[in-house]
Amino acid sequence: MTAEATIDRVVTAATPFEDAFRTLIEGDGAEAPSQIQSLRSAAFDAFRRLGFPTTKNEDWHFTSVAPIVEHDYLHITTPSGDVRRAALTPFLFGRSEWHTLVFVNGRYAAELSNTSGLPKGVKLLDLRRAWREAPQLTEQLGRITRYDDHAFTALNTAFMHDGAVLRVDADVEVEMPIHLLFVTDAVAAKSMMHPRNLIAVGRHAKATVIESYVSLSDAVYFTNAVTEVSVADGATLHHYKMQREGMRAFHVGTIETKQARDSHYISFSFATGGSLTRTNIYTSLDGEGCGATLNGLYMLDGEQHCDHQTMIEHTQPNCFSRELYKGVLDGQSHGVFNGKVYVDPIAQKTDGKQTNNTLLLSDKAQIDTKPQLEIFADDVKCTHGATVGRLDEQALFYMKSRGVSRQLARELLTYAFAADVLETIEQTSVREELERMTLRRFTTVADER
Amino acid sequence: MSLLEIRGLTASVGDKPILRGIDLTVNAGEVHAVMGPNGSGKSTLAQVLAGNPAYEVTGGSISYKGQDLLEMEPEARAQAGIFLAFQYPVEIPGVSNAYFLRAAYNEVRKARGEGEVDPLEFADIMEEKLAFVDMDPGMLSRSVNTGFSGGEKKRNEILQLAVLEPSLAILDETDSGLDIDALRTVADGVNKLRSADRSFIVVTHYQRLLNYIVPDFVHVLAGGRIVKSGGKELALALEEKGYDWLTEGEPAGVNA
């Protein structure tokens, strides 16, 4: 009892955040509209009540957030850092013409962003400008996520101060992807960032959004991002999350989506950076005829810990969901995959499929994989499967017997393992970039598959 | 100097001795057939030459172009000109045949101090090589051996042989599982690749293949040793009389 009580006190200690919160609401944060101010306060109350999750919490069983909690972080509320345009090149998929909002150390950087040429019917702006100039665009904030029982979402909501707001009007098809690029440099050391994004895709509209989280230093810092998404009737959103933060960074990123009738939400989460990272991707299929595709790839090495939790809620009949997550784990890395699928009693004819495959490249790498299906309807088709394997020794020998070096053979087989999930990426530049990263040491023949 | 000199070679799989003292010399341009009943060690010999780590060499020596072959990694052997056409080619889903072939081709070229070729140059080379084995160019874009028929897999092995242009090619039961038409195609490919500076070791269970690929020498392997060597007529005698007349009175495990 005593030990438990002690643990609880440590991890629920909100004290270091109290000062930062007071500084925000009394300082730079005071400019936010009054309903945002109340939302922040309600969320901070929720965070105080919830505290950080322990591994006793079913949703955090395989991931201890202690390494995140044991640091004190400064909340950066003013522009900082020294990031030049050229430094961003490696993260732009070779496509600097895309509509891009850049955030440096958590704050919008207009001079690095590119919002020219946005089609009519598309609004893309930073959160603070939206609060000033178009507060109606931010009315949905806090209505999609559930901060009252998610500590990190509560923390983000309390500290929300910057981020991206995107609205695509009905029937508009945005041809070029919209890239939200969150970059940190050495100035981010010992600080925390709580990016808050809001994406609304109108009826029969179509868009592609990429959220990138990248570092230009190996500083210890904490990103705690939340993105709220609504996809209206018959709309389609391709949503890519690219997490390539520094090897000492902490990252918690939550995406919560609400889908209306006949909408399609196609998500891909790529995670390769950070020391301790957690990605939550939740979607709720709230109308008939929806489809959700949640795919992902995580590639880890060293002592990295990377956790993905997905939740697909089938609340209406005749929807489908497809989920394929793959992990490549080297060194002493630890991967976690928890895929939840909930099927409401009225969600008849639900068609769901979930797969998690892991390739272990070393004896010390570890994966915890946990499918979690809760099905309350009786006329549904839901399957799940998980595999864990190593590189095929026969295939390695076969390739080496053709003169291919051990290193290249390993890379090719690793690439081959990841290939089918990468092939699901529709956006060519993103797919090619990820293929290159999967084959990162394989430079001479990477232009052809 | 001979291309390949095998002396007193012994090898095991796990604790089980398979090769019990092999002596074999292959000179440049020669074609040697190695025949023998099931379990005689034919495939083991082929795998050991290519450096398969599943087989442990317990004694003897192999000299290839004057180098100690047993000290070399499988990829170094391949780069030095040894090629094994597998009895059971391995499927590699997700890696295209073209990609794999060019990777292998460039690795071998690099080892020979030659420059790498780009996809366009390689496409030209492939056009010529595909004709050798009468192979559909569509096979190049498929994953290596994945979903290939038995004949397609063997053809693919010969295609790789044609591309990598080894000094010593070892064909491990390339005829197994082939119908007569596929066998002819494969044998034609091999015959076109015969030259004064390329040697072959053709491992087979049946004499039939040797009607198409006519060997200079035939060796009979039994109980892990070569029990008889001769010219191509030996293969015909084997076809007629079977292996028993050679292996009778030759208890396994006795070293000559």
Got the DSSP string for A154-198? HHHHHH----EEEEE-TT-B--S-EEEEEEE-GGGTTEEE--EEE
Which SS3 state, helix, strand or coil, does residue A125 take? strand
Residue A381's beta-bridge partner residues?
A351
Q: Phi and psi for A269 in degrees, rounded to 5?
A: -115, 120
Q: Dmax over Cα atoms in chain A, in whole Å?
A: 69
Q: What is the mean pLDDT of chain B?
A: 91
Contacts of B102 in chain A (CB under 8 A): 445, 448
Q: Which two tokens stand for residue B22?
A: 């092999």
B-chain residue closest to A404, CA distance: B104
The answer to whether the Cβ–Cβ distance between B164 and A402 falls below 8 Å is yes
Q: Which of B52, B43, B66, B156 is nearest to B104 (CA)?
A: B156
Q: Which residues of A touch B95 (CB under 8 A)?
A: 412-413, 415-416, 419
Report the pLDDT value the prediction gives residue B94, as an integer from 0 to 100: 86
The CA R_g of chain B, rounded to the nearest whole Å, is 18
Strands B16-26 and B4-13 come out as antiparallel
Residues on chain A touching B91 (C-beta within 8 angstroms): 395
pLDDT at A9: 40
Quickly count helices (H) and strands (E) in chain B. Answer: 9, 12
Rounded-to-10 torsion of CA A134, A140, A142, A146? -160
Compute the mean pLDDT over every residue in chain A, rounded to the nearest whole number. 92
Cβ atoms < 10 Å from Cβ of A49: 13
Query: CA triplet A213, A425, A116: central angle to 5 degrees?
Result: 60
Q: Over the Cα atoms of chain A, what is R_g?
A: 21
Higher pLDDT, A436 or A191: A191
Looking at the predicted structure, is the pLDDT value of residue B212 above 80? yes
B84 contacts in chain A (CB < 8 Å): 401
The H-or-E segment that residue B124 falls in is: helix B119-132
Of A250, A241, A284, which is closest to residue A265 (Cα–Cα)? A284
What pLDDT was estimated at residue A440?
A: 66
Distance between CA atoms of residues A209 and A176, nearest Å: 9
Closest C-alpha to B227, from B6, B37, B17, B62: B37
Whether A405 sits inside 8 A of B100 (CB atoms) is no
Please list every residue in chain A whose beta carbon sits closer than 8 Å to the beta carbon of residue B148.
none
Alpha-carbon span A395 to A404, nearest angstrom: 11
- Asked whether residue A8 carries a pLDDT value surpassing 90, the answer given is no
Q: What pLDDT shows up at residue A196?
A: 98
Q: How far apart are the first and last CA of chain A?
A: 59
**pLDDT of res. A443:** 33
The closest CB to that of A404, out of B53, B96, B103, belongs to B103
- Identify the contact set of chain A against chain B, taking CB-CB distances under 8 A: 392-395, 397-406, 408-409, 412-413, 415-420, 444-445, 447-449
Residue type, A254: T
Quote the minimal CA–CA distance from B116 to chain A in Å.
8
Instruction: Report the residue of B48, B69, B72, B90 to disrupt the A interface, i.e. the one with the largest count of A CBs within 10 Å.
Output: B90
Residue of chain B nearest A422, judged by CA positions? B94
Per the CB < 8 Å rule, is B75 touching A412?
A: no
Residues 6+ apart with CB under 8 A from A326: A296, A297, A298, A356, A357, A358, A359, A417, A418, A421
pLDDT at B46 over 50: yes
Q: Give residue for tokens 């083991």.
A: B44
Residue B254 in this model has a pLDDT that exceeds 60? no
Q: Chain B: give the shortest CA distance to residue A306, in Å.
A: 25
* A327 half-sphere exposure, CB direction, 13 A CA radius: 30
A41-74 pLDDT, tens digit per residue, is: 999 999 999 999 999 999 999 999 999 998 889 9
Determine how β-strand B225-230 pairs with β-strand B217-222.
Answer: antiparallel
More confident residue, A287 or B128: A287
Residue of higher predicted confidence among A180 and B36: A180
Cβ contact A298:A270 at 8 Å: yes
d(CA A331, CA A73) in angstroms, rounded, equals: 29
Percent of chain A with pLDDT over 90: 86
- How does pLDDT run across B216-226, given as a tens digit for each residue? 999 999 999 99
Neighbours of A408 (CB within 10 A): 22
- What single letter denotes the amino acid at residue A203? R
The residues near A89 (Cβ < 8 Å, ≥ 6 apart) are A96
CA dihedral B145, B147, B149, B154 (to 10 degrees): 0
Better-scored residue on pLDDT, A251 or B149? A251
List the domain boundaries for chain A. 2-286, 392-449
**ipTM value of the model?**
0.93
d(CA B222, CA B158): 27
Please judge whether A397 and B52 are an interchain contact, meaning their C-beta atoms are less than 8 angstroms apart. yes
DSSP three-state, residue A276: strand
**Domains along the sequence of chain B with CATH:** 4-247 (3.40.50.300)
What token pair was written down for A158? 């309390």
Q: Which member of B91, B94, B104 has the closest CB to residue A404?
A: B104
Task: Give the model's pLDDT for residue A442.
Answer: 37
> Which residue is listed with tokens 């030459």?
B49
Please name the member of B75, B83, B86 whose beta carbon is closest to the beta carbon of A406: B75
CA distances to A15, A155, A189, B35, B145 from A20, rounded to whole Å, are: 9, 11, 16, 81, 60
Beta carbons of A233 and A267 less than 8 angstroms apart: no
Q: Where does residue B38 rank: exposed (0-12), middle (13-18), buried (19+ CB within 10 A)?
A: exposed
pLDDT in tens, A272-286: 999 999 999 999 999
pLDDT digits (tens, 9 = 90+) for A306-334: 999 999 999 999 999 999 999 999 999 99
CA distance, residue A88 to nearest chain B CA (Å): 30
pLDDT at A439: 75
| B103:A415 CB<8 A | no
Residue range B75-119, pLDDT digits in tens: 999 999 999 999 999 999 888 899 899 999 999 999 889 999 988
| pLDDT given at position B38 | 86
**Distance of CA B188 to CAs A29, A370, B130, B155, B156, Å?**
80, 54, 13, 11, 14
User: Which range has the top average pLDDT, A381-390, A430-439, B143-152?
Assistant: A381-390
**Subunit contact B92:A398, Cβ cutoff 8 A:** yes
Which of A238, A82, A114, A84 has its CA nearest to residue A168? A238
Give me the half-sphere count of Cα atoms (radius 13 Å) on the Cβ side of residue A276. Answer: 15
Q: Residue A185 corresponds to which tokens in the numbers above?
A: 């440099």
Residue partners of B88: CB distance under 8 A and separation at least 6: none
pLDDT (0 to 100) of residue B176? 86
Q: Which residue in this structure is represented by tokens 């490249």? A: A361
Per-residue pLDDT at A14: 55
- List C-alpha distances in Å: B252 to A112, B205, B222, B240, B243: 78, 19, 8, 23, 14
The pLDDT confidence band at residue A100, using thresholds 50, 70 and 90, is very high
